[in-house]
Amino acid sequence: MPTNIPQYEIRMPKMPQIPKGAIKIGAIVLIAVIVLWGAFYQIAPDEMGVILRFGKFVRTSEPGLHFKWPLGIEALTKVPVQRQLKMEFGYRTTNPGVRSEFAVPEEAAKESVMLTGDLNVVTVEWIVQYKIKDPYKFLFKLRDVEKTFRDLNEAVVRRVIGDNAVDEIITTGRARIALEAKEELQKLVDLYELGVDVNQLIFQDVNPPESVKPSFNDVNESLQEKERKINEALAEFNKEIPKAQGEAEQAIRGAEGYAMERVNNAQGDASRFTQMYKEYAKAPAVTRKRLYLETMNDVMSKIEKKYIMDGKLGNNLLPLLNLNQEVKK
């Protein structure tokens, strides 16, 4: 075998030499960028920032641009204090939108079944709208605020439903019961220091179980028909009673006016007779003559044809009088 094998030398390219001063400047710039990137933060208009220094609460931040210590010295937690939050009970929204889609998983079905005060069973679906009013309490007073808030909701609604009859819950008392549950829930939230403000508690749907739903619907329709008849009767009552009262008042006022007129006329006649009698007592002959003349004046003024007879003539003029002739008025 040949022994003269050519030998080749492999030379690697030399890396460019970077000045040590440039490396230091680059490192300083990189550290400065990291520090500045973690030092400034922005809070949105509907949020509030909670700052922790080595895990301990130190302050809160309003919306805007702020500074905090970087490199893990201070940590930021953003809390949506102005955002309207919602919890659903008895159902879950699977696809929100113009036509939202809903589902009733097993967990939601269990929390919706409740016992009423008259030992009937109903399924209750409701929502709670709330806001975070105290970020410190919301983050640090309890370990799991949302689960506690959900448990409080279920406990309050079950108690309120259990204090009322099924007919009232399904028909006329729903709004009152929802308001009572909201007020009771707010008291418990304040007691447990959740830092939450309950805005609304709304019963979306309250129904009996499916097996007895037709019977309950029939009862509900009957109650609505009863209310309608009562309202119609009250409307007719309110129309007729004021009318009758007005007519009675009118008759009473007419009778009082007539009585007053008769009394005043009688008093006037009596007063006139008294005054006349006083004048008659002063001069009886003159008064008798005046009364006679006044009476004759009234009587004679009503007669159209007047015949003055002289008693001395006797009966000679009697044939001249046509007594059968009708007197024209």
For residue 187, the domain's CATH number is 3.30.479.30
The answer to the question of residue 163 being in a domain is: yes
pLDDT at 130: 96
Q: Are residues 147 and 191 in the same domain?
A: yes
| Closest residue by Cα to residue 112 from 11, 222, 204 | 204
Q: Are residues 99 and 178 in the same domain?
A: yes
**Residue 85, H or E segment:** strand 85-89
**Whole-prediction pTM value?**
0.56
Q: CA-based angle 300:301:307, to the nearest 5?
A: 45
- Tell me the pLDDT of the chain (329 aa) as tens digits: 455 555 545 555 555 566 666 666 766 766 666 666 667 888 999 999 999 988 889 998 999 888 888 877 888 889 999 999 999 998 888 877 657 777 778 888 888 889 999 888 889 999 999 999 999 999 998 889 999 999 999 999 999 999 999 888 887 888 999 999 999 999 999 999 999 999 999 998 888 877 777 777 777 788 788 888 999 999 888 888 888 888 888 899 999 999 998 999 999 888 888 887 787 777 778 777 877 888 888 888 777 776 666 665 555 555 455 555 555 54
* Domain endpoint, select from 190, 208, 226: 208
Q: How many domains does the chain have?
A: 2
Q: What is the CA radius of gyration of the chain?
A: 54
User: In Å, what is the CA distance from 186 to each residue of 21, 86, 128, 163, 197?
Assistant: 64, 15, 11, 18, 7
User: In Å, what is the CA distance from 98 to each residue of 92, 95, 171?
Assistant: 16, 10, 28
| Domain residue limits at 39 | 23-79
pLDDT at 11: 55
pLDDT at 10: 53
**Residue 88, H or E segment:** strand 85-89
pLDDT at 193: 93
| Closest residue by Cα to residue 206 from 71, 116, 301 | 116
Q: CA-based angle 186:111:131, to the nearest 5?
A: 30
Q: Are residues 64 and 176 in the same domain?
A: no
213-282 and 284-300 are packed helices; what angle lies between their axes, rounded to 10 degrees?
120
Q: Are residues 68 and 96 in the same domain?
A: no
72: left (phi over 0), alpha (psi -120 to 50) or beta: left
